[in-house]
Structure 1
Amino acid sequence: MGPSEEEKERDVILISDDEDDSTHGNSVLIVDPLVKTALEEKKCEEIVDEECELVVTFCKQANVMPHARYDCTSHSFERMECETCSPLGKNADFCSQCYCYICDKLASECQNWTTSSLCHCNAHNKSKFWKERRDFALAGVLVMFNLELTDIDADLRHGGNLLISFIQELSVEYNKYLIGVRIAPTEQECFCVSKLPPGQCGVCRSRSTEIVYKYSGVYALVTRFLNQAERESPKAAAVMLLGAAREITLHKDPAISWQNLGHTASLKLAVPCLLQSLNVVPWDHVLLTTVLKGQNTTGQRTQKGRKTFLWEVLPVIEARVEKLVENKNYKEVVRYLRAVKCSDTKGLRDLRDKIPFYLCKTGDFTDATHSLLFPINSLACCTACRLTPLQFEVYLKIFRTGSVPAGKDIQDPGPWVTVGSPMKDGVLIKQAFKLLYSNLSLYRNPKCWGSFIMIMGSSCFLERNGRLRPLTVKEPPVTFQQGVLVASDGLFQELKAKLNVSFPPGIFSQLHQEACLILAVQAVQQMVICELPYLTSFLEIFLAFGNNFWALRLLLNHLSYDKHILHGVVDLILRDLNRQKATMLKLWQNLGPQYVGEFVCLFLTCRNRILQSIGVLALDIITENLHVCPWAKHLYNFFHNARLMQLPLGATTHHEVSKFMDVLEKL
């Protein structure tokens, strides 16, 4: 029997729009049931929740719908990024409608709900780790082929399931192979050319303590799997063949010396034989070896009047690259990626985009910049076209310091190691601008210009934590500034036109750090003139100058020549300050009152009144947040020593400064 009408009207379910983390993931809000007598007395009476601004005009029994475990309202749930050892809190508890986030089954049917090292009960949708586990559970081993979930049909999934079973079986057989077998001297097989009966060869008997590694079991398993693949549909077979090729290319021979066991029992003979059946070039193939050694740069050769190419499928290319990088054979991986061809052009292009980083790992920064700026073939675009702002900054940091991240990826947060000599300032500046001019999104990105200014204003020696060490350089003579500006006039336009230009001799012979900042000022000015309508911010460019306020003042003077440009820049900065008050207060807290005083005074003392508005807004931000600015009281002495009140600031600015000084005096 179903529930009675009275029982159906006991609970109320309200759907909330609040997606805050404090609510359930499915945004269901359960309201306590009304007492039965109240409903009987007045079922149509309106219930008003003033806090939520909701009006309840009808009530009925709540039905618990299927939901993920982390959304359960009956049992509390604790979240962590990747806890798999044991259930957290009461995460192992579940109601009858709780589903496993990973398996997409009822929690009661999940076989790994509380299994150690898996613990699906802790899975939730706020964790990158668990999301990847869920994707793998849905796509299976097919994730290695970078397929969209919508593209995975029944044939692909069937091939993936067969491949998973094969990989599991292969792992067992491969582990047996790695353990090896120790054979008694009387049973020792002869590995020599003479092939004497077991136990009669003196040479082989002397090596009886060696462990024999027979690949026969692996070879037989792989052969059966390849034969099975031929009987499957084309899609399933492709998945099976590519997956098998990827697995066996990563196998290693643990034997210290050569063991001539035959083409099925010896890995060095068996793997090339299997790869040949898969149309995959073995590691010792003459074409591949000549490419890796640098003897063949094109990946093609002519034999008996017939051209052959180094052409491989993407999973095999990825496996080779992975193995070469793991062994730190960076020169070989560069040669291979430049020569190999593949039908998956996008996948190969993504791998080739890492060539500049691999070259940096070898200390060859010149070839690295060339690889960034010039494509491998005329039909492709250069890697610089696809650089992100973070990658741009890291490459400049590498060129500036001669150091690289120790990890396998350019964005690895780990330690940095020195691999070569830093680039000369003139070369670095030219390469930086070539990168910016090759990528319009980078050129219009204030973060990239801030990175460039910051790096050019830093020491070429990294700190122990891998961070750059900002430099404070004295303001050079005005004649020197004008000389650098005149000597470099027109150079940036020539660089933009991709001409091979060089800086005038002597420009970096003295005060080279100062010359770098002056050139940065000139480049920023030219960028703003052309790209102002596309800029989304500007404050980070100003902040990148650090304590080199003379360079920032030089930029302000250059921008003041055009009122339209100046108004646009000031509007951007005022908007940035208003939007990032908390960030600025934290930055000022770290930099101290000396920096804040010089930063504010720089704008307040500008002859152009519109620039003074930036300094006035900075004073307002400090005044409004004095409770988190314990350093603000030191500004009073700074402004007093700078005789700020005696300067001709203008009536409005003078009034604001006077008001601020009065506030500070009372602290």
Structure 2
Amino acid sequence: MGPLKNEKEEQSIILISDDEAESTLGSSVLLVDSLEKSALEEQKSEVVVDEESELVVTFCKQAKVMPHARYDCTSHPFERAESETCSPLGSNAEVCSQCYCYICDKLASECQSWTRPSLCHCNAHHKSRFWKEQRALALAGVLAMFNLELTDIDADLRHGGDLLIKFTQELSVEYNKYLAGERRDSRPQECFCLPKLPPGKCSVCRSRSTEVVYRYSAVFALVSRFLNQAEKESPKAAAVMFLGAAKEIAGHKDPALSWQNLRLPESLKIAVPCLLQRITTKLQRMLVLCDFPKGLYEKFVSFFQYISLPCHCFGFSNSLNVVPWDHVSLTTVLRGQNLTGQRTQKGRKTFLWEALPVIEARVERLLGRKSYKEVVRYLRAVKCSDTNGLRDLRDKIPFYLCKAGDFLDAAHSLLFPVSSLACCTACRITHHHFEVYLKIFRTGSVPAGNDILDCGLWTAAGPPLKDGVLMKQALKLLYSSALLYRNPKCWSSLIMVLGSSSQLESNGHLQPLSLQEPPPDFQKAVLAVSGGLLEELKARVSVSFCPAIFSSPLHHEACLILAVQAVQQMLFCDLPYLTSFLEIALAFGNNFWALRLLLDHLCCDEHILHGTVTLILRDLSLQKAPMLKLWQSLGPQYVGEFLCLFLTCRHKKMQSIGLCALSIITENLQGCPWAKHLSNFFHNAGLRNLPLGSTAQQEISNFMNIFEQQ
């Protein structure tokens, strides 16, 4: 009920019904005529009940006339027609002070089209389908072209529509400038025809010099700025802006009558596809990542499908036909009910085929939910025309399996391709990936993020692989890729991981183990079976590790001995390709017995020995500062053990490595505060009394004398 007036001014009462459809008069107000005033006054204390409208009147006062649509005005009669727009019907043009325009939704006195021919908003009413559509168009504005209901339009959509209107106005100005073109320099141009004529005399060259050039650069820049702005808006507003921009530029025409040698962004036929590529890529991602209401989603897609694309943009016709998340082809794949993505409908085979931006967006969303198994199922089943892009995504499948705790499947996925048209992932992983995978398999922990090279925290994902299985998979990886096999960092990673605990620190650092040297008989037994195992692994046949050795209490030591044998074979076959060896030697850590075993094997071949020593000496000469820093952190005990290993070697060439390292320390005594402790280590080890040869004996004595004379 409206505001109350003074009782002396009472003339009528306006009762506003909640439901126009149920109103007795079919209008938005119900009047109680003032002639009935006396009867009402007599019953002020009584309750009046209108049974049809379920309205209860307990007290009546004169009401102020509320704003109302023109067709509901009680002061002026209204004539209805379905779609009369030529002129006002009857007294429809007459209004009271509270009459509102049904179309504009503002006071009739402010409506610019109230009586304008071909518009005539004064004739509008809510019983006409035509006038309802006109009202929706007026209230929705530019959003009406998306076929949105008024109930669909919220603040975000309206904001996007407002920005789109402003853009189309600016775009119209720039496009008209483009259509006007610009003339080339009118000065006589040099003739390039045969026979060559003087400048200005050739009609062909003269016509070219006066040709109008149409440069799309300004339009391209304006659209690009608008798309940049759209990317910063809310999803609904951005979608409206992207779709509206696509519709506008799709209608642009190139007015040039002949071919013009223009490039991006000057050429319309190059610039428009470039802009549409950007627009469709963004929209594809939004349709996957943004939870648009189903009706709005369908209207966005339908709007794009009805855009009339020029011939140079036909490739974008079906770019927004994105499979919704609840589609059966997708849901069965994600649940593991369909492993291939292939379905048969009415005797016809269909596949789950999607554009690369859509695949990337789906993977991004699934990873955000930590649905790693669903990511793997999807990437294995989906197909894409961009085979290289899909291959790069599939290369991450082993890591996603690790995140799900399925390490054995992850190891197999590294070696076996998803598609027969591509090679295995192992062919493309780097030594960094190789090391991380070994740490994952060894410890059962994974990086906390969704990238294998994340440097953050690590978390437990499942039970680690057994040593024998880890060793088998690691060697298969090395043998499957020449880049990995010839990379010393991969071999040092393998040795370092095998010599570490299965307990991983939260920062991703391994805890090194100091393994006791196993009995000679055990070493011989491992070496006896190692040759055959390595050959079988190279041949990619099914291999069974001897459980008596690799499942024994000395399984750590057995795997390390097998790694020594594999390194030896690598040196014998691929030494010329090796760029370093010092890092392999350092990877053994405190397990000097294993390093000694390797060096003893290398000494059996003069050529291999010479090449290995040359590599180590070159490494030491090029990395003096890093080595001193490393030795500072490892301490004199480790340095002493490391140098003694080479200095006491029976082969003189191996001794040269220890002497080189000793000379580096001697030259940098000020930076080696632990050098005196190293001298004490040499004294306790009795190096002066060992038959090391004159040169080695002299260098060691000189080093120890430095500290004994202090």
Normalising TM by the smaller chain, what interval? 0.5 to 0.7
The alpha carbon displacement at 1:165 in A equals 2.1
The count of residues paired between Structure 1 and Structure 2 equals: 463
Match of residue 651 from structure 1: 694
Q: Please provide the CA RMSD for this pair.
A: 2.3
Q: How does 1:38-437 map to 2 (within 5 A)?
A: 162=223, 165-166=226-227, 168-169=229-230, 172=233, 174=235, 223-228=243-248, 230-231=250-251, 233-252=272-291, 263-264=295-296, 278-437=320-479
TM-score w.r.t. the length of structure 1 is 0.66
Q: Which letter does structure 1 place at the counterpart of 2:251?
A: R
Q: Which letter does structure 2 place at the counterpart of 1:370?
A: H
Q: Does the C-alpha gap of structure 1 residues 436 and 551 become closer, same or farther in structure 2, counting only changes over 3 Å? A: same
Q: Does the C-alpha gap of structure 1 residues 427 and 272 become closer, same or farther in structure 2, counting only changes over 3 Å? A: farther
Q: Does the C-alpha gap of structure 1 residues 334 and 273 become closer, same or farther in structure 2, counting only changes over 3 Å? A: farther
Q: Which letter does structure 2 place at the counterpart of 1:372?
A: L
Q: Is the 8 A contact 1:159 1:240 kept in 2?
A: no
Q: Which letter does structure 1 place at the counterpart of 2:295?
A: H
TM-score w.r.t. the length of structure 2 is 0.62
Tell me if 1:630 matches 2:691.
no
What per-residue deviation string (whole Å, max 9, x for no partner) do you get for residues 313-344 of structure 1? 11111111111111111111111111111111
Q: Does the C-alpha gap of structure 1 residues 310 and 262 become closer, same or farther in structure 2, counting only changes over 3 Å? A: closer
Q: Does the C-alpha gap of structure 1 residues 332 and 273 become closer, same or farther in structure 2, counting only changes over 3 Å? A: farther
Q: Does the C-alpha gap of structure 1 residues 303 and 629 become closer, same or farther in structure 2, counting only changes over 3 Å? A: same
What per-residue deviation string (whole Å, max 9, x for no partner) do you get for residues 193-237 of structure 1? xxxxxxxxxxxxxxxxxxxxxxxx777556534533643644433
Q: 2:570 aligns with which of 514, 527, 532?
A: 527
Match of residue 501 from structure 1: 543
The alpha carbon displacement at 1:155 in A equals 8.2
Residues of 1 paired with 2:396 and 2:351: CA distance? Answer: 22
Q: Does the C-alpha gap of structure 1 residues 469 and 273 become closer, same or farther in structure 2, counting only changes over 3 Å? A: farther
What per-residue deviation string (whole Å, max 9, x for no partner) do you get for residues 4-61 of structure 1? xxxxxxxxxxxxxxxxxxxxxxxxxxxxxxxxxxxxxxxxxxxxxxxxxxxxxxxxxx
Q: Does the C-alpha gap of structure 1 residues 513 and 275 become closer, same or farther in structure 2, counting only changes over 3 Å? A: farther
Q: Which letter does structure 2 place at the counterpart of 1:587?
A: L
Residues of 2 paired with 1:525 and 1:598: CA distance? Answer: 22
Q: Is the 8 A contact 1:160 1:236 kept in 2?
A: no
Q: Does the C-alpha gap of structure 1 residues 229 and 353 become closer, same or farther in structure 2, counting only changes over 3 Å? A: farther
SS of the equivalent of 2:527 reads helix
Identity of aligned residues (%): 64
The alpha carbon displacement at 1:271 in A equals 6.6
SS of the equivalent of 2:643 reads helix
Residues of 1 paired with 2:421 and 2:562: CA distance? Answer: 34
Q: Which letter does structure 2 place at the counterpart of 1:353?
A: D
Residues of 2 paired with 1:637 and 1:407: CA distance? Answer: 47
Q: Which letter does structure 2 place at the counterpart of 1:486?
A: A
The alpha carbon displacement at 1:166 in A equals 4.2
The alpha carbon displacement at 1:488 in A equals 2.3
The alpha carbon displacement at 1:244 in A equals 1.8
SS of the equivalent of 1:460 reads strand
Q: 1:537 aligns with which of 580, 589, 602?
A: 580
Report which stretch shifted further, 625-634 or 307-316: 307-316
Residues of 2 paired with 1:450 and 1:227: CA distance? Answer: 58
The alpha carbon displacement at 1:248 in A equals 3.1
Residues of 2 paired with 1:454 and 1:395: CA distance? Answer: 13
The alpha carbon displacement at 1:485 in A equals 0.8
The alpha carbon displacement at 1:360 in A equals 0.5
Tell me if 1:583 matches 2:626.
yes
Q: 2:509 aligns with which of 445, 467, 476?
A: 467
- Structure 2 residues not aligned, in runs of 5+: 1-214, 253-271, 306-317
Q: How does 1:512-523 map to 2 (within 5 A)?
A: 512-523=555-566
Match of residue 485 from structure 1: 527
Q: Is the 8 A contact 1:229 1:241 kept in 2?
A: no
Report which stretch shifted further, 319-328 or 411-420: 319-328
Residues of 2 paired with 1:419 and 1:389: CA distance? Answer: 22
Match of residue 69 from structure 1: none
The alpha carbon displacement at 1:530 in A equals 0.3
